[in-house]
Structure 1
Amino acid sequence: MRSARIGTPIALIVIGAILKWAVADAISGINLPMIGLILIVAGAIWLVLEIILGRPRTHVTTERTNVQGTGTTGPAGDQHVEREIRRDDI
């Protein structure tokens, strides 16, 4: 199973929140709260995309069947049948 990579978008949201609400210093010509808001929005969009696009696209189902026979196929006639089914989501 593929795991979602959500660490970077969360870090972007946290840095944006710090710039928006926790930094009281001002730099002339740079609006830190606006940069923080932009980082928060970009991180949130990135996080949503990672969650949606990071989900598994292939589902695998394995079906196992044990059939007892007359002794001609193995020990005590047991036969093992295994079938794998793959379904790709689009």
Structure 2
Amino acid sequence: MGRSARIGGPIAVAIIGAILYFAVSDMVEGVDLTMIGLILMIAGAVWLVIELIVNRRRSAVTSERQVVRDPSAPGGTVRSEREVRRDEL
């Protein structure tokens, strides 16, 4: 099963922060809504970057070696090596 980036939460937090920062002009006693909005926008952006980094597509290289004993070959052995590239989800 593949991984998918969960970006809905960080985008929602950033949007709520933007609304508080840019659109709300009401004052709540003892609470600075613009500062809370700024903090939420930054937190949403950092969360989004972390989600994208953790869930990025990765690739792996697998090496495979096969040794076959063949008395007619010089030294009596035949070696075969190959690399296989595959995407990990």
The alignment covers a number of residue pairs equal to: 65
Identity of aligned residues (%): 57
| Per-residue deviation, 1:53 | 0.5
The yes-or-no answer on 1:42 pairing with 2:48 is: no
Please say which of residues 37-46 and 51-60 is displaced more in the overlay. 51-60
CA distance in structure 2 between the partners assigned to 1:29 and 1:43 by the alignment: 24
TM-score when normalising by structure 1: 0.63
Q: Note if contact 2:59-2:85 (Cα within 8 Å) is conserved in structure 1.
A: no
Gaps of 5+ in 2: 62-83
The yes-or-no answer on 1:13 pairing with 2:14 is: yes
| Per-residue deviation, 1:55 | 1.7
CA distance in structure 2 between the partners assigned to 1:9 and 1:33 by the alignment: 18
The yes-or-no answer on 1:28 pairing with 2:36 is: no
The runs of 4+ residues in structure 1 deviating greater than 3 Å are 56-60, 84-88
Root-mean-square deviation (Å)? 2.2
TM-score when normalising by structure 2: 0.63
CA distance in structure 1 between the partners assigned to 2:34 and 2:87 by the alignment: 47
Distance 1:12 1:58, change over 3 A: same
